[in-house]
Amino acid sequence: MTLPQGIAEPDGAHASITVPLSKQRLRVWLRLLDSNREMLGQLRGSLRAEFDTTLPRFDVLATLDRYRDGLRMSHLSAHLKVSNGNVTGIVDSLIHEGLVTRRVDSDDKRATTVRLTRLGIDRFAAMARAHERWIDTMFTELDSHALDQLSSLLDQLHGGPK
């Protein structure tokens, strides 16, 4: 049966009921949010249990690991899409633990550059290995083909990978 644009034909027992595509999209959005919350909750719990750390701290370390020469605090905030104030507290605690250093930028004395220490590099490497293991476990029900399909569908949401 051909349905007007914007109407989806449901599967299963309710096949005789048509659902507006907007409702179907909303349901998918809510499922994505729910899955995201569940996975982030698992990651937060695993980071806390195994490394006594938080997801925001992990994100700071991961970003600095990608930029081994360091980042200005403003660039670090921009990469993380959070305010400078949010990052400052995290960086302060990471400095206290010896995982990062903060130095006055040689090009601009008003700015500071943050980079991983050797201990920070080693600690993050251990966290990254565990993180990959946790993610692998979360997606264990999906084979390579299903993962490719999911990735392709997600790419379609915003016109391709970012």
Name the residue ranges covered by the structural domains of the chain: 1-51, 53-162
Question: Residue 79 pLDDT more than 90?
Answer: yes
- How does residue 1 score in pLDDT terms, banded at 50, 70 and 90? very low
- How does residue 109 score in pLDDT terms, banded at 50, 70 and 90? confident
Among all chains, which residue has been given the structure tokens 């980079």?
115
Domain 53-162 has CATH 1.10.10.10: yes
Q: Which helix (H) or strand (E) holds 18?
A: none
Calpha distance 71→76 (Å, rounded): 6
- Amino acid 122 reads D
pTM (2 d.p.): 0.81
For 121, counting Cβ atoms within 10 Å of its Cβ (0-12 exposed, 13-18 middle, 19+ buried), the class is: middle
Q: Which helix (H) or strand (E) holds 71?
A: strand 71-72
